[in-house]
Amino acid sequence: MDETTDLAAPGRTVGPYRLLRSLGRGGFGEVFLGEAGDGTRAAVKLLHANWAGDEDMRRRFAAEVDQARRVSGFCIAAILDADPTADQPWIATEYIDGPTLQRAVAEDGPRRGAELQRLAVATATALAAIHAAGVVHRDLKPENIMLAPDGPRVIDFGIARAVETTSVTASGIVGTVGYMAPEQLEGMRLSSAVDVFSWASVMVFAATGREAFHGPTQASRIARVLSGEPDTGDLSGPLLDVVLACLDKEPKRRPDAAALFHHLVAGTSPDPVETVAPTRVEEGPRTPLTLHHTEVEGGARPSPRPEPGHAPNQSPEPAPPGPGARTPSAAGPFPSGEAPPYHFAGVRFTRIEVLAAAMQENWSDAVTVFGDHAERAMLGSWVINDINDTRVDRSLFRREVRDANMAVASFVAQAAPELAPRFRGHDLTVAGLGRLFHDPRPLITGGHEANELMLLARPELLRQMSAHRTGDSAQLSQLARDIETAERTGAAFHGELTQNLVGWRRFEGRTEPALVLTFLLHPELAVAPDPGGLPGVRVWTSALWSRVESASGARRAGYAAAVYAALPSIVTLARQRGVWERKKEVLDREHQMLAGAVAAQNEHRSVQVMLGLAVIPLLGASFVLASAAPDSGIGMLFFLASAASFLAWVVLTVQRSHRHGSDALRESREFRLQNIPGQDRRLVEGLQMMDRDLARARQLCSQPPRRRD
């Protein structure tokens, strides 16, 4: 048990709230259902305990909470209380009693028609309110939209920015791959436009049940966000036009939240000419990495820093290399020091190798250069025309750049292959990867560092890093091939399950390269997942894990990652089975109760009918016998019997409504009793289908895997 869970165990008191139970856990902390002394309930989020010692985080968190409190309270979960100064910082928001959009779509299917339109308008309204308060959500996704009885509510707004700018996440990305804008994935400076992109991605999921940029692997999803087209399913009309405008790769071409709301309400399509640049609400540029500057040509970087590619007012002359500094080889036709200079990060450079080293060290500035068409063109002109370097691929400067980070990596590897492989400040030698990918838990639970690791685990990146002429080149190339093998293995495994198991056909399978890389670098970490306390999960994980045990190497890593990726599907199946089993128990009890009640009312009715039918014959017999033998008294006995029968019939008639309800109620009871067997049969068939799926999964996974590569 980690420190966060220990401090936040249910039953503890946080501020005025007593924690009742855990509601979920994510990248920033764990959320509990809390109850105050007056009965008020709240969703209490405790941030990860390892942030407690970061004073900068506490200061920013306090400021952001104060800012988030100014967001209008409609369509959002309002902030009730917070304490950034607590031993474990916490925040309490309005408790929404309802499912998340993610769970609702998974269990009930995509939204349609007016329901989808209401969802779009409500969430756009919330987004406009959040942005109007100067807050950017940064992690809008189906899990952060609650479907309350009175309409959708957006949760977890404004917290990501406070956390994102701390040193804890200085080397990571806040957000969820699949709903993140391209500039968010690339570590560029962000604006409110990222939320508009995420909103459109959420609407596609709500309408289709799958992500707009779906794919079998994390790498394929990232590539599709950066350069591919969204899959919008059967969306049509003005909503489709709005969604496509919001999914534009260029932030400045997306409508802002206010314009988005207007188009949704008016039912109009955005005009690209009319879209406006989103309001920037950040203070200063986003710096995704904490870097240490080394000696580069021209000495230390001056302050203030000029824009990349432009000369400062006074450019320092190149300083002689210090002890231990690299001695770059001459590039181009100019003798060393005679080439026209290129200015980067406030320093003048005449040798491409030294510029590459500076870009590797000052990664965020380099991303700015390659992410801007004009800046990239200036660099290309210097490389091609001024120094006439022939080692760097000209396409880096002549084609549109979709992934600025990969462009930087390619430039550095080609211009200075003798440098050690680094990416966004991370050491990507095999040893460095081993240190980075040492713990699968953040990748499984969605920790804040997971997204950064997912970017680092792409095979194309490792293949690019292998271009550095170091002792790790062959191993990095092999890791890239192994990840691809593992991804194919995991995708084939999921395909095998969906083809043979009826209940799996609605689930999308993914094999996360970051988890695969963790298992490749540390095979001892590839152990069966902990099923937790949810009944039914253990039997499924045990059945699937037998396939992992039968494989080795990259295929074992692929199977293991596929099983972990299937955990949400397994949990959904386990919950569905629990719902069906409980519903069957309720139906069985109801059937038993109704059967007794209907039997009693039928018996009552039978006796009543018999008595009613007996009155007339008895009365007739009494008159006949009285006429035939007036002195015998037999006629009087029959008369008394008929009177008694009539009186009993009257009593039973009066008692019928008292004991068994009105005629309508009795008919409803009988109708319900007739329909229960059909519902019960469907539940039994569903449970039997799950049993057959589980048995078939055991059979499939116990067989030796067939090689597909």
Cα 235 from chain centroid (whole Å) = 21
What φ, ψ does residue 288 adopt, rounded to 5°?
A: -75, -10
Sign of CA dihedral 690, 695, 696, 702: positive
Q: Give one word for 185, left, alpha or beta, with left for phi > 0 and alpha for psi -120 to 50.
A: alpha
For residue 392, give the DSSP letter.
S
Task: Tokens 């709005």: give the residue.
Answer: 242
In the three-class reduction of DSSP (H, G, I as helix; E, B as strand; rest coil), residue 486 is classed as: helix
- Written as one string, the DSSP assignment of 514-580 is HHHHHHHH-GGG--PPP-TT-TTHHHHHHHHHHHHHT--HHHHHHHHHHHHHTHHHHHHHHHHHHHH
Task: Tokens 């022939």: give the residue.
Answer: 390
In this structure, the strands spanning 422-423 and 426-427 are antiparallel
* C-alpha torsion angle, residues 457, 460, 462, 466 (rounded to 10): 180
Contacts (Cβ under 8 Å, ≥6 apart) of 590:
672, 676
Q: Give the Cα separation of 305 and 312 in Å (integer).
A: 8
- Would you say 249 is a known binding-site residue? no
Q: Give the Cα separation of 290 and 296 in Å (integer).
A: 18
Contacts (Cβ under 8 Å, ≥6 apart) of 497:
504, 509, 566, 697, 700
- Written as one string, the DSSP assignment of 612-673 is HHHHHHHHHHHHHHHHH-TTTSHHHHHHHHHHHHHHHHHHHHHHHHHHH--HHHHHHHHHHH
First to last CA, the chain: 40
What element of type H or E holds 23? strand 17-25
Token output for 589? 């009890």
Catalytic (active-site) positions: 139
Cβ atoms 457, 426 nearer than 8 A: no
Q: Give one word for 270, left, alpha or beta, with left for phi > 0 and alpha for psi -120 to 50.
A: beta
Residue 572: name the closest of 652, 464, 690 by CA: 690
Token output for 594? 């109704």
Q: Give the Cα separation of 118 and 700 in Å (integer).
A: 44
Could you give the angle at which helices 363-371 and 373-381 cross, rounded to 10 degrees? 100
Write a three-state SS string for 274-322: CCCCCCCCCCCCCCCCCCCCCCCCCCCCCCCCCCCCCCCCCCCCCCCCC
Token output for 448? 């804040």
What φ, ψ does residue 511 adopt, rounded to 5°?
A: -125, 110
Q: Exposure pattern of 209-241 as b/e (b: 16+ CB <10 Å)? A: eebbbbbbbbbbbbbbbbebebebeebeeebbb
Amino acid at 587: L
- Show binding-site residues: 45
- Show binding-site residues for ATP: 45
